[in-house]
Structure 1
Amino acid sequence: MGIRFPILFLFVMSRTLGHSAELSALSQAIDPDWIAQALATTGKASVRKRKLPAEQVVWLVIALALYRHQSIPEVVAHLDLVLPDEVNADIAKSALTQARQRLGQAPLAQLFAMSASCWDERHQSGRAWRGLCRYAVDGSTLRTSDSPENRAHFGAQAYASGVVASYPQLRLLTLTALATHLVRDAVFGAYGTNEMLYAKSLLDRVPDHSLTVFDKGFFSASLLLQLQTKGHERHWLIPAKANSTWERLDPHPTDYRVRMKVSPQARQAEPDLPAFWEVRAIETTTSHGKKRILLTSLMDRQTYPASEIVHQYEERWRIETSYRELKQELLGSELTLRSGTPETVYQEVWGALLAYNLVRLEMAEVATEAQVEPTRLSFITALHYLRHEWGWMAIEAPGKIPAHLTRLRNRLADLLLTEKRGRSCPRVVKKLPARYPIRAVSKPK
């Protein structure tokens, strides 16, 4: 097919120049100038000569997610992150911890913001729907190590019985591109903060000429009107709640305009909200026969047909797999983060998001060359291939690298999913298996 792996081809040059293969390849995806700018802007650039300068620590944080099952010293040795020192070639474990603490989370947050917007804009070209880039907002949680600092900062889930979860948790919300599953932006913090507040902080970063798809839990006049009115051509799509009420404004049976009342509580909190707002309602039936009503700001029926809008909402369901890929595949089901302080937890999450986007970026590049949709490629297979290639190229003879790359390109079919997969059965609550056999109680005679 003439397919190329853009990052992997750079291993040839890295081996020729004598650099660490893994680090040289990754540094071609993330512009070193971005790292320098992030460090300079946040005041974290290394002034004194160190064996592990700030630039190398940035790569260490990203690599901690890519090599989740390796210890921090093993990752440092694997990527050759420590600068040469003829006097003392080793570096103490405490020095690695201190290096991460010196760096903090701000440079990683800024590096993520610069790279994510650049990569997303690069791969939105030709993948827009009727002139609109498509995104989805969704949320999840991550578990942190149980230190007093993390528990005080992030909090934990409390059950109705009064029992508190064994580990602190943080709440994570992402703005993810439907076309590539690249994470465009993210916000996270204390578990007890409502998702609606996190979602509002993402709105200013939603690009113009876009459609953002929400789950029904985000249904709020305040949230949706803020997205719609601030910016240019920023639209939204969301399913109606079961208790939603409105006034129909036209007689069309399945595609009609409605007028809804803004709650007095919302207007009291935000006096600028209107008393009423008009939206478009589209009635549809799922593959399981369940009726659903979608609400949207896309009012023009001719420009935005109802059947295509329904399809956009179906695409939103596939975004939920990105959290599975991040938590189970990239982090290897190690649900508890490494870091023991809130600052390094934030740093670790930004590094994991950067690592996830690096894999998704490579998939988008391959899909462009193969002329297929990036969502047709398997994240699990792509991740395994990349980790495998980074491993053997670091020790392989340079003359054998072209043959390995040819073999890899010929195996691209392994990355292709046969068809788009949907949910095969509706969600149901499964009964947990009993720990002990259940004995039948005999009835009294």
Structure 2
Amino acid sequence: MVGKAHKYPDFKALSQQIDPEWIAHALAVTGKARVRRRKLPAEQVVWLVIALAMYRHQSIPEVVAHLDLALPDEVNPDIAKSALTQARQRLGEEPLALLFGLSAAAWDERHQHGRTWRGLARYAIDGSTLRASDTPENRHHFGAQAYASGVVASYPQLRLLTLTSLATHLVRATVFGEYGKNEMRYARDLLQAIPDHSLTVFDKGFLSAELLLQVQQHGRERHWLIPAKNNSKWERLDLHPTDYRVRMKVSPQAREHNPTLPLYWEARAIETISRHGHRRILLTSLLDTQAWPAKELAEQYQERWRIETSYRELKQEMLGGELTLRSGTPEAVRQEVWGALLAYNLVRLEMAEVAREVGVVPTDLSFTTALHYLRYEWSWLAISSPGTLPARLLRLRERLGELLLPKQRRGRECPRVVKKLPSRYSTKQVRSVK
């Protein structure tokens, strides 16, 4: 109706989600706020990028129409696909990156209370990869995996590392970029995001004095836990058979890169037996054997696999069977990744809220079921009156029985295995980008 005020979809009605002031701040700081009235203003484009991850199998125009994201226009009610592409280009990646940083830290801190281990918030740092659309721009910028046979992967890939809460699966911080960059270099950029009074669990590939000493020497009560490598060497400092102090030599290469590193560094070694009967030695900066019992520390390491689960939820459940990102340029890919991470955290945030209200842990809830419910509820936001939204949220949370995982799936462990070699029919020979 002409002259009728348009009601923006009230996305923040589901839980206390993204504060509109965060969006306004992100747009203002990055210079993307516009006084000029557009049919698809910057605030709506932010939600569009997030919604593209929530509705992975719908085209961009379909998502705009489905969620009523555009302002009404009596002359031209439809938005051309090229206009949507231009709107995303105007927005860029910076507002999404800033918005993720603002929201991720706030949401994680909100849900750490009561979910710590002996006063320490628990996190994991690990890496994964995402597949980008096969365009010359993406292949040149991100690169791709090259196999020993000389065959290069059919699609460009980008490397992704996250700092993920083990209690809620909320992603607190992330870094990502070209595939060829070593995970250790990415991990260094994540260390400053580790909060005080925390324990961060690493995979053994991150065993490095330069990396781990930075964790414990900056901030307050920042500790780490990591399995030793098979070829790790050290000097034992006491005679306890399974829980003892060790001293290790810092490699000359590490000291050359960082001259402030000491000649030696110390850690606590705990010998354990995994659920599969394998002997494992865990190294940690938590040296006090009375304050930090070895058995409980071993249990904390068993939780490390949860970050693997979070990657599966993001890549397989949210992005679906189509593992390839839809964007054709590097900047659009980065924007899409920030939107996907925001969408993932929105689902995990709602699961944390539900779990707290009914007294269960968030990891006992089904991500897939929660995602389906939230997709359904978002579909109603654009056409529902605000007064019905609390009732919808209450009904969503009352369906806890459908959200709970079967008991036999709780506490499961997903060990890493050697992947099957790729078939020669799923790759194509391409020239390496110089």
In the superposition, the TM-score normalised over structure 2's length comes to 0.91
- Residue of 41, 45, 64 corresponding to 1:76: 64
Give the whole-Å Cα distance in 2 for the aligned partners of 1:45 and 1:398: 26
Q: 1:187 corresponds to which residue?
A: 175
Aligned-partner residue type, residue 308 of structure 1:
E
Give the whole-Å Cα distance in 2 for the aligned partners of 1:425 and 1:353: 24
Give the whole-Å Cα distance in 1 for the aligned partners of 2:105 and 2:385: 37
Q: 2:267 corresponds to which residue?
A: 279
Instruction: Compute the displacement of 1:193 (Å).
Output: 0.3
CA-to-partner distance for each residue in 1:117-174, whole Å, 9 max, x for gaps?
0000000011111111110001100010111111111001111111111111000000
Q: 1:133 corresponds to which residue?
A: 121
Aligned-partner residue type, residue 316 of structure 1:
R
Give the whole-Å Cα distance in 2 for the aligned partners of 1:230 and 1:399: 48
Aligned-partner residue type, residue 286 of structure 2:
L
Give the whole-Å Cα distance in 2 for the aligned partners of 1:113 and 1:424: 29
| Match runs of 1:260-279 below 5 Å | 260-279=248-267
Q: 1:308 corresponds to which residue?
A: 296
Give the whole-Å Cα distance in 2 for the aligned partners of 1:33 and 1:407: 28
Residues 416/82 of structure 1: CA separation in 2 closer, same or farther (3 Å cut): same
Residues 139/406 of structure 1: CA separation in 2 closer, same or farther (3 Å cut): closer
Unmatched tracts of structure 2, length 5 or more:
426-434
Q: 2:412 corresponds to which residue?
A: 422
**Range moving further from structure 2, 277-286 or 425-434:** 425-434
Contact in 2 for aligned 1:139/1:173 (Cα 8 Å): yes
Instruction: Compute the displacement of 1:34 (Å).
Output: 0.2
Residues 399/252 of structure 1: CA separation in 2 closer, same or farther (3 Å cut): closer
The DSSP-based 3-state class of the residue aligned with 1:87 is coil
Give the whole-Å Cα distance in 2 for the aligned partners of 1:141 and 1:238: 22
Q: 1:30 corresponds to which residue?
A: 18
Q: 1:227 corresponds to which residue?
A: 215
Give the whole-Å Cα distance in 1 for the aligned partners of 2:201 and 2:166: 9
Unmatched tracts of structure 1, length 5 or more:
1-16, 436-445
Q: 1:102 corresponds to which residue?
A: 90
Instruction: Compute the displacement of 1:421 (Å).
Output: 3.6
Q: 1:368 corresponds to which residue?
A: 356
Residues 26/222 of structure 1: CA separation in 2 closer, same or farther (3 Å cut): same
Residues 70/378 of structure 1: CA separation in 2 closer, same or farther (3 Å cut): same
Give the whole-Å Cα distance in 2 for the aligned partners of 1:430 and 1:148: 28
Contact in 2 for aligned 1:22/1:390 (Cα 8 Å): no
Q: 2:41 corresponds to which residue?
A: 53
Give the whole-Å Cα distance in 1 for the aligned partners of 2:219 and 2:284: 17
The DSSP-based 3-state class of the residue aligned with 1:357 is helix
Give the whole-Å Cα distance in 2 for the aligned partners of 1:426 and 1:99: 41
Contact in 1 for aligned 2:302/2:413 (Cα 8 Å): no
Which contiguous aligned blocks of 4+ residues in structure 1 show a shift greater than 2 angstroms? 17-28, 388-411, 423-435
- Residue of 243, 246, 258 corresponding to 2:246: 258
**1:147 matched to 2:105:** no
User: Alignment length, in residue pairs?
Assistant: 419
Residues 96/253 of structure 1: CA separation in 2 closer, same or farther (3 Å cut): same
Instruction: Compute the displacement of 1:401 (Å).
Output: 7.4
Instruction: Compute the displacement of 1:86 (Å).
Output: 2.0
Residues 89/216 of structure 1: CA separation in 2 closer, same or farther (3 Å cut): same
Give the whole-Å Cα distance in 2 for the aligned partners of 1:425 and 1:172: 20
Residues 108/262 of structure 1: CA separation in 2 closer, same or farther (3 Å cut): same
Give the whole-Å Cα distance in 1 for the aligned partners of 2:106 and 2:320: 28
Q: 1:167 corresponds to which residue?
A: 155
Give the whole-Å Cα distance in 1 for the aligned partners of 2:389 and 2:181: 50
Contact in 1 for aligned 2:67/2:378 (Cα 8 Å): no
Give the whole-Å Cα distance in 2 for the aligned partners of 1:315 and 1:322: 12
Q: 1:323 corresponds to which residue?
A: 311
Instruction: Compute the displacement of 1:391 (Å).
Output: 3.1
Residues 426/387 of structure 1: CA separation in 2 closer, same or farther (3 Å cut): closer
Contact in 2 for aligned 1:144/1:336 (Cα 8 Å): yes
Aligned-partner residue type, residue 179 of structure 1:
A
Residues 274/366 of structure 1: CA separation in 2 closer, same or farther (3 Å cut): same
| Match runs of 1:346-365 below 5 Å | 346-365=334-353
Contact in 1 for aligned 2:107/2:349 (Cα 8 Å): yes
Instruction: Compute the displacement of 1:195 (Å).
Output: 0.3
Query: Which has the greater radius of gyration?
Result: 1
Residues 205/387 of structure 1: CA separation in 2 closer, same or farther (3 Å cut): same
- Residue of 275, 278, 288 corresponding to 1:290: 278
The DSSP-based 3-state class of the residue aligned with 1:318 is helix
- Residue of 175, 180, 184 corresponding to 1:196: 184
Contact in 2 for aligned 1:288/1:426 (Cα 8 Å): no
Aligned-partner residue type, residue 316 of structure 2:
Q
Residues 27/102 of structure 1: CA separation in 2 closer, same or farther (3 Å cut): farther
Give the whole-Å Cα distance in 2 for the aligned partners of 1:221 and 1:144: 34
